[in-house]
Amino acid sequence: MAGAALLIIGTEMLDPAKADANGPLAREALAGLGIPLRLLLRVEDREESIAAALRAALETCEVVLTSGGIGPTGDDLTREAVASVLGRGIHEDAEWMGTLEARLGERGRALTELGRRQAHLIDGAGRLDNSAGLACGSFIDLGGRVVALLPGVPREFRAMLVEGVLPLVAAKFPGKPDTRTVRFTLAGLPEVQAEEVLRPWYGREGVDVSILPSHGVLRARFSLSAPPARDLAGLEGEIRAAASAGWGIHLVSDEGATLEEKVGERLLDMRWNLAAAESCTGGEVTSRIVSVPGASRYFLGGLCAYHNRAKVELLGVSESVLAEKGAVSEEVALAMVRGARARFGASCAAATTGVAGPGGGSPQKPVGTVWLAVGTPRGERTQLLTFPAERATVVDLATNYALFLLWKSLQGE
């Protein structure tokens, strides 16, 4: 089976925290052709480094894509590095020069000497037109393998990949497999525990598994591919059975819907509406509910009663309960749910109150102590969380567990 490498070229991309939009796009598009990504290489703008990475890619992969380094300036060195590895020259493509001049002319600008580099092509390469930018790409057929040079700007990369590269790669490596994707959303489960179900599938031929954990919610994806003749339904059934048996109540969606989408669906089913009352989560529960398009059909609003005065005056929490039990208590969480239902006139509500930290903790209520409460026409329920963590993590965890508690209540579970 053919495999692919993607070289992300640009010194600024050596910052691992810098998100790369082209990788996920290329990976998914190539998976659709049955070609898994084997190497994902971020490389500085230096000819030797690009050349070394390219040699590694050519050694192990049939499809090699590069992103970036084909612009006009002096630090755009991808063409030069690729040409030197392949022992080829570089020439100016006359037709693309004409396109460049025409496009710049329309904007009343002239082509500079550096700008001409955007019409440079590796000898023997096919030209990849750029419908979204000025630099043309190169597509080089080496017999058993291909190399394609694309621009790094995500809009240009996407256009050239879809319009130029994918059809050529599909023609070169035919026998496009059947593919299926199964997406799961899990809540309230630690990653190590969730992974028990995934582990047997890692590295299995034709199965690509990925998992994205984020503080109480996990998204797992299985991308399946098999030769056209073979049926994937059996494999998919096996995966769904393992997921359902292994994850149980924590399996919120087997279609990749989010927790907040499932909450919304369920509210619409029941013809109920919702309000939120938050303290430590500071608007995050509200924000997640509103992130679903069409949330206005069931969401009335949320109050972040950060200061105790707001809890008393705007939610009707009693001052004596606050004084006696403290703001972080089951009683106050329940009073917030009741206040939110009354003030917004909502059939359901969710509330959070806790110690997000870094300050404010005590031996009895350390940082990470959070009380959750939800109320629906069927009743009320509460939950205590104690996850010592950083402030932002406590907020995320409390938000996800509050949504999960709400979802379970709406399910009647």
- Extract the tokens encoding 224: 């399946």
Q: Is 46 in the site for its own copies (CB under 8 A)?
A: yes
Tell me how far, at minimum, the Cβ of 203 lies from its own copies, in Å: 5
The residue (of 165 and 398) whose beta carbon lies closer to its own copies is 398
By CB under 8 A, residue 306 contacts its own copies: yes
Q: Cα dist. 193→238, 250, 272 in Å? A: 19, 11, 34
Question: CA 36: distance to chain centroid?
Answer: 18
For 128, what's the count of Cα atoms within 13 Å in the CB-facing half-sphere? 31
What does the buried/exposed string (b/e) look like for 204-239 if buried means 16 or more CB atoms within 10 Å of the residue's CB? eebbbbebebebbbbbbebbbbbeeeeebeebeeeb
Binding residue (CB under 8 A) for its own copies from 216, 302, 354, 375: 302
Q: Minimum Å distance from CB 141 to its own copies?
A: 21
Cα distance between residue 207 and residue 235, in whole Å: 9
Residue closest to 203 by CA, chosen among 370, 409, 38: 38
Q: How many helices, marked H, and strands, marked E, lie in the chain?
A: 14, 17
Block residue for tokens 């048996």: 245
Structure tokens at 165: 């590269």
Among 1, 114, 162, 212, binds its own copies (CB under 8 A): 212
Closest to its own copies by CB, 126 or 301: 301
Select from 47-55, 104-112, 141-149, 249-257 the region that touches its own copies (CB under 8 A): 47-55
343 touches its own copies (CB under 8 A): yes
Per the listing, tokens 């001052």 go with 319
Applying the rule CB under 8 A, the residues between 344 and 373 that interact with its own copies are: 344-345, 356-360
Asked if 389 is part of the footprint of its own copies (rule: CB under 8 A), the reply reads no
222 interacts with its own copies by CB under 8 A: no
Asked whether position 286 contacts its own copies by CB under 8 A, the answer is yes
Site for its own copies in 49-78 (CB under 8 A): 49, 52-53, 55-57, 59-60, 75
146 vs 356 by CB, closer to its own copies: 356
Q: Which of 169, 218, 285, 398 binds its own copies (CB under 8 A)?
A: 285
Contact by Cβ (8 Å): 76, 117: yes
- One of 18, 91, 155, 378 touching its own copies (CB under 8 A): 18
Q: Does 15 bind its own copies (CB under 8 A)?
A: yes
Binding its own copies (rule: CB under 8 A), the pick from 29, 33, 41, 148 is 41
Q: Look up tokens 């291909």; give the residue.
A: 146
Applying CB under 8 A, the site for its own copies has a residue count of 79
Q: Are 299 and 268 in contact (CB under 8 A)?
A: no
Closest CA to 100 of 113, 82, 91: 113
Which CB, 91 or 309, lies closer to its own copies? 309
Judged by beta carbon, residue 284 or residue 331, the one nearer its own copies is 284
